Amino acid sequence: MFDGLPEACFSVLPGEGQLIYIKRGEMGYWHSNWDTGDPEQNRKLADYHNEKSGVTKVQEEAMLIGSMFGWDVLGADPKSYNPPAQGINAGYAITRRTTIGQIEIVLGERISAPDKYVTWRRTPAHEKNGKAEYYWGHYFSTKDAAIADYSGRIAEENRNSQDHTEAKARVAAKKRTEPER
């Protein structure tokens, strides 16, 4: 029932923004003495202390659900969250990925970095030694900006892929119509 959950973590009370402390297996939560009265600052404090303790976002969410709705509900199991982080690159957890043809676009998140979000490009077919190689990183301080860039990179790659497919079709059609020499 508690597989993958930490002993305790910090979180922010939904809707109110108060800094709270949650203990695994116990219903409810405790108001933290470190509460600043500012929801944004409280979120930063929770992220800082959780990261320092090795608590992931998924674990925090599962702890919050468990403390409010019971530890036997699906939401209290961190393994039930989809998608979990899909790897780590340069300290950033890969949270989203989209593949277009031979190219992959990813979105990463690292709470402790000045630029908390990044999008990268990856070409799995050209990698050696089985290690993912990300390149052309675009870094952002806000999640909204990173998601907009992620979506834009996907759209651009779709256009490039479509242009490439159309060019190949034109070459093939031209070869079929040219007489042999």
pLDDT in tens, 142-159: 888 888 898 889 888 888
- For the chain, the average pLDDT equals 85
SS percent in the chain: helix, strand, coil, step 5: 40, 25, 35
Mean pLDDT along residues 62-78: 83
CA–CA distance, 153 with 113 (Å, rounded to integer): 22
Longest dimension (CA), the chain: 86
Half-sphere exposure of 85 (CA within 13 A, CB side): 15
What are phi and psi for residue 55, nearest 5 degrees? -90, 125
For the question of whether the overall pTM of this predicted structure is more than 0.75, the answer is no
Q: What is the pLDDT of residue 118?
A: 96
Between the alpha carbon of residue 111 and those of residues 44, 77, 152, the distances in Å are: 9, 22, 23
Selected residue with higher pLDDT from 80 and 146: 146
The pLDDT tens digits of the residues spanning 21-48 come to 999 999 999 999 999 999 999 999 999 9
Q: What percent of the chain has pLDDT over 70?
A: 85
Helix axes 39-53, 57-69, angle to 10 degrees: 110
Q: What is the pLDDT of residue 24?
A: 95
Sheet of strand 92-100, all strands in order from the earlier edge strand to the far edge: 88-89, 92-100, 103-109, 117-122, 134-140
CA–CA distance, 115 with 126 (Å, rounded to integer): 28
Q: What is the pLDDT of residue 83?
A: 54
